[in-house]
């Protein structure tokens, strides 16, 4: 498994480099074909390469992962593949190339993978712009979805993920000379300051909804009243109901300054993975762990999104975080605990046995 992981990690695959993604897809395809005996279907959407294996009808379990990473080409020069102290290091090893290795080794351990569909996307780190509909369509075909993303701290499974919604709030003001007659203008930056405070008040705390103003722009010159200003807004919600509340509140913002105008532009959104979607699968995973005589897996609710948000949003029961145990995703020192890889694989095998009736 470590050697398979080395092959994947040393083929760099930044999401935005479509040529690199295509090369990585070749390496993933070789791994999957060698371990399952079946060639994948290559699906190119917007130039991005995704891979799909369908065994039989493939309508019982969707195994979901991605082979793209956030690391740019050349990252191996500063963060090379290495194994030390039982840990494997390298760009993308934890998020989520080790999960792909575990996925295919789990399939190789089954008497038959009939009933399973495997989908490995190439743009998860970008928010699945080309694979979104593909993932949701595959999820609707299947009775359940297992996501081989890296685990939460301590190896815990991810039984809930906040939904993600991105917005841009644009303010329209009126320009004027800042020294001669600023009162003739409508200061878009001042209006934006009022709106940023209103946006921040929509959050409910770290464990609930977070509404975070991020990138701000405004003005054209230091001696001119700004006629335009804008802010990007990152929204994370634990439930569909909270998304509706925040969406209505953002769209309902009103100007504080006379003569100012507001425009709201909604960006990409991921629905939440709510606890009810994962509850039965999580209970089954803990049963498998008990039968394997390993410690309880544990659960976590996390703020980051994954393709599992999309499968849950499609109405398919989904369990996430079944992949590697490790840490430092997207950061120097990203690593995987090698001794846990076969253990986590055995949990997936046990789940598949039960879900497939094998």
Q: Report domain extents, the chain.
A: 2-160+274-356, 163-270
Average pLDDT, the chain: 97
When pLDDT is averaged across residues 75-104 and rounded to a whole number, the result is: 98
Q: What is the pLDDT at residue 207? A: 87
Please give the structure tokens belonging to residue 342: 């076969």
Q: Give residue-wise pLDDT tens across range 103-151.
A: 999 999 999 999 999 999 999 999 999 999 999 999 999 999 999 999 9
The confidence score (pLDDT) of residue 358 equals 66
What pLDDT does residue 304 have? 86
The residue-averaged pLDDT of 177-190 equals 97
Distance in angstroms (rounded) separating the CA atoms of residues 329 and 336: 10
Evaluate if residue 28 carries a pLDDT over 90: yes
Q: How far apart are CA 109 and CA 35, in angstroms?
A: 9
Provide the pLDDT for residue 341: 98
Catalytic residue among 4, 12, 68, 125: 68
- Burial class of residue 59 (count of CB atoms within 10 Å of its CB; 0-12, 13-18, 19+): middle
Task: Name the more confident of 268 and 212.
Answer: 212
What are the tens digits of pLDDT across the range 241-265?
Answer: 999 999 999 999 999 999 999 999 9
Mean of pLDDT values over 45-63: 98
pLDDT in the model for residue 90: 98
Architecture of domain 2-160+274-356 in CATH? 3-Layer(aba) Sandwich (3.40)
Domain 163-270 falls in which CATH fold? Answer: Alpha-Beta Plaits (3.30.70)
pLDDT value of residue 335? 98
pTM of the model: 0.90
- According to the model, what pLDDT value does residue 74 have? 97
pLDDT of residue 23: 98
- Percentage of the chain beyond pLDDT 90 is 97
Give the model's confidence band at 22: pLDDT under 50 very low, under 70 low, under 90 confident, else very high: very high
Q: Region 66-81: what's the mean pLDDT?
A: 97
Predicted local confidence at residue 268, as pLDDT: 83
Active site residue 26: no
Residue 65 has pLDDT above 70, yes or no: yes
Q: What confidence tens digit (pLDDT) does each residue in 208-235 have?
A: 999 999 999 999 999 999 999 999 999 9
The answer to whether 270 touches 305, Cβ cutoff 8 Å, is yes
Select which of 12, 95, 123, 124 is catalytic.
Answer: 124
Residue 38's CB is within 10 A of a number of other CB atoms, namely 14
Residue 303 has pLDDT above 90, yes or no: no
Cβ count within 10 A of residue 263: 10
Q: Is 68 assigned a catalytic role?
A: yes
């Amino acid at each position: 498994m470590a050697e398979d992981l080395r092959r994947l990690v040393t083929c760099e695959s930044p999401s935005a480099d479509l040529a690199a993604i295509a090369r990585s897809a070749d390496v993933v395809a070789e791994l999957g074909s060698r371990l399952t005996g079946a060639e994948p279907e290559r699906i190119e959407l917007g130039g991005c390469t995704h891979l799909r294996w369908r065994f039989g009808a493939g309508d019982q379990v969707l195994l979901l992962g991605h082979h793209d990473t956030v690391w740019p080409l050349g990252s191996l020069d500063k963060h090379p593949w290495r194994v030390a102290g039982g840990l494997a290091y390298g760009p993308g090893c934890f998020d989520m190339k080790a999960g792909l290795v575990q996925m295919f080794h789990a399939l190789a351990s089954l008497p038959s993978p009939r009933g399973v569909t495997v989908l490995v996307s190439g743009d998860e780190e970008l928010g699945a712009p080309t694979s979104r509909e593909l993932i949701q369509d595959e999820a609707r075909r299947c009775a359940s979805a297992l996501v081989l993303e890296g685990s939460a701290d301590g190896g815990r499974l991810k039984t809930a993920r906040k939904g993600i919604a991105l917005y841009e709030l644009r303010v329209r003001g009126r320009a004027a000379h800042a020294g001669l007659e600023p009162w003739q203008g409508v200061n878009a930056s001042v209006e934006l300051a009022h709106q940023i405070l209103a946006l921040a008040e929509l959050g409910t705390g770290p464990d609930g909804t977070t509404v975070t103003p991020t990138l701000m722009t405004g003005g054209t010159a230091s001696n001119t009243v700004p006629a335009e200003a804008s802010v990007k807004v990152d929204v994370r919600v634990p439930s569909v109901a909270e998304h509706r509340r925040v969406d209505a509140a953002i769209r309902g913002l009103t100007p504080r300054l006379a003569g100012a105008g507001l425009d709201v532009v909604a960006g990409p959104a991921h629905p939440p993975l709510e606890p009810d979607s994962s509850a039965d699968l999580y209970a089954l995973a803990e049963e498998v762990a008990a039968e394997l005589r390993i410690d309880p897996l544990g659960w976590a609710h996390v703020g980051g999104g994954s393709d599992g948000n999309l499968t849950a949003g499609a109405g398919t029961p989904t369990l996430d975080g079944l992949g590697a145990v490790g840490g430092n995703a997207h950061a120097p020192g990203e690593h995987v605990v090698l001794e846990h890889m076969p253990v986590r694989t055995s949990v997936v095998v046990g789940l598949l046995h039960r879900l497939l009736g094998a």
